[in-house]
Chains A and B, each alone.
Chain A
Amino acid sequence: MKYTIKPVGDSALTIIFGSEIDPEISRIVRMARTCLTNKEIEGVIEYVQTYAALMVHYCPVTISYDELAARIDAELSRMDSSSDQTEKRTFVIPVCYGGEYGPDLPAVCAHTGLSEKEVIRRHSGVDYLIYMLGFLPGFVYLGGMDRSLSTPRLKVPRERLEKGSVGIAGDQTGIYPLVSPGGWQIIGRTPLELYDPEREPSILYEAGEYIRFFPINETEFKRIRREVELGIYKYE
């Protein structure tokens, strides 16, 4: 396992494991995050996992860059990257495709030449790896979308995307956890509250886990929405 450690200012450093989007590199980044988190290194504030790097935010008054880099080096050299203990966890997200909730589903069908049913089947038929979160709280960068669903972004971005909107942009698919402007082709919406500051944890999934979309109809959407609002919905 190869990596380089570089400073990012005086209060953060980055451990670079590679330079491409690759499930194997992502797995190693996640292992390194778990390994270092478990060591509870004094002075470390938090770890941020991205596609091929791990950022470490720390307090330089407590630990210097040189000390921390040496400590990380020692811990990672002891880590056995082949023995991954973490089990695969898949988070199921119910999505109501098309209609009012997915205004761009016809556009995606037109661009891909697939029927609505087929787009839904292909979009909900896979487990997507969460490579990283960023941009907005709970916004996921997913890998593994069927290439046949690729559709370019809207030419004119929408000023308002409802929270829970599920969309496609080029080869990517993702969900907007908050109301936001955006140029994604919106094909559906989830009734789940993906980000809730009052809930513990506020965000229900993390990098390295998987997401699967589960098609539901409008009646189920409204039922789940009610359960979510009442706080009785069981997340899986």
Chain B
Amino acid sequence: MAMHVLFPGPRTTIQDQGRPGYQNSGFAPGGFMDRDAAKTANVLVGNEDTEAVLEFCLIGPVLFFDETVNIAVSGGDFGIDVEGTFCPADRPVRVPAGKKVKITTGQAGLYGSLAVGGGLDIPPVMGSRSTSLRCGIGGFRGRALAAGDEIPLRNPENGRKDLSWRWVPPRRQVPPDDPAAARVRVIPGPQENMFTPKGLQTFYESAYEITSHSDRMGYRLTGPRVEAADGYDILSDGIANGSIQISGSGEPIVMMADRQTTGGYAKIASVITVDLPLFAQLRPGQKVRFEKCTVQEAQKLLREEDKMWKDHCRMLEENSPNHYKPYRLSFSEEGSSRSGCRSCRRSGWAGRKPRRAGLRSGRKSSGQKTAGRKSAGRKSACRSCR
């Protein structure tokens, strides 16, 4: 009951929501680089959206599982190759035991999240399973994955379920070679006043290129110098996720998940949370333009996004085929059409043989059946469950 790493990829670590609560002691929270990708991959395989995932950078791992599992990958333009069968990202994939899984890399995106149904059995350190390479803690033995690693699965039962019907709404993607540069919204401050009007104009009107000196700590950008009135140094203060520092060279550094908690460069603005996943997926060489946004607007967008996501997750739980099993059993085997309750799960169904392990095809037809059952099932919920 483990995930076996055949080839780790250059920078593959285990990440979850991170380790907040220790920043006052100098400990960066870390966690997902692309929060949306991790949430998506997790929900597709039936996990909580905060479950720990494998996060890889550009080149994904090659793995196999000694148990049938559901997996999903999300983030950039990645795919899953199961011994020659290509499966796209943002879809759940059932991988039979022993089959070799390879992550394929496409034209866009930098960070990918691979979720395993039921989660990885990794002990949390200071409340989180995130790997902090700097401190050598969390994740799998506090380090990046290596060939030969065997990571135990927490709940391999998950692999018995057919989750192929689960879906997520498509996310915003940056086209691989957008000449106009990606647009990312930022909230000005807190040291905006240290920059000259000309400097601010430069910052908001220029395209900045992501350099190869970019990692989980921060993305260094290159482009026109942002002019400050009197240097870029400040009395060190706190740094938030997505804060944009202007360093001594006059060029921006966007602080990411493994950032330092405090810093001594002036912060001209911060990337809004809703745009941070998109920004995180920009590869070195791609360009970005910053647009002003107010904190009120940013928080409204985030709240809307959060509500849509939660509604979607609730819808998936309510529409789960597992939810209708008692009704389906009575319909097909007892012949009484409107007797079962869709909500009170009873025995009977458990006696049914688990579905044949294997990659599922013909997803459409099973989806249609599910839809039909759904409408019939809704009528038949008993009073206590309605």
Contacts and interface: CB of A to CB of B under 8 A. Distances in A.
Interface of A: 6-12, 14, 16, 19-21, 33, 45-55, 57, 60-61, 64-66, 132-139, 141, 178, 195, 197-198, 201-203, 206-207
Interface of B: 20-27, 125-126, 134-135, 137, 187, 189-190, 235-243, 260-263, 267, 270-273, 295-296, 298-299, 302-303, 306
Contacts of A60: 273, 298-299, 302-303
A30 to B, nearest CB: 11
Nearest to B299: A60
Given A134-B236, A178-B135, A8 B302 contact: no
A20 B237 CA distance: 11
Interface centre among B23, B25, B134, B241 (most CB of A within 10 A): B25
Q: Which DSSP category, helix, strand, loop or mixed, fits chain A's interface?
A: loop
B25 A203 contact: yes
A46 B18 CA distance: 13
A112 B23 CA distance: 36
Given A8-B190, A10-B302, 6 more contacts: A9-B240, A9-B295, A55-B238, A202-B22, A202-B25, A206-B25
B241 A48 contact: no
B379 to A, nearest CB: 35
Nearest to B126: A197
Given A9-B272, A60-B299, A135 B238 contact: no
Contacts of B298: 9-10, 60
Contacts of B267: 8
Contacts of A203: 22, 25-27
Contacts of A53: 237-238
A40 to B, nearest CB: 14
Contact of A8 (B22, B26, B240, B261): B240
Contact of A57 (B26, B189, B240): B240
A33 B262 CA distance: 16
A61 B302 contact: yes
18 contacts: A7-B187, A8-B238, A10-B187, A16-B190, A19-B235, A50-B235, A52-B237, A53-B238, A55-B240, A60-B273, A60-B298, A65-B295, A132-B236, A132-B262, A178-B134, A197-B137, A202-B22, A203-B25
Contact of B24 (A9, A20, A47): A47
A20 B235 CA distance: 7
- Output the residue of B24, B270, B272 with the most chain A CB within 10 A: B24
Count chain A CB atoms within 10 A of each CB in B20, B21, B235, B243 and give the residue with the most: B235
Nearest to A198: B125
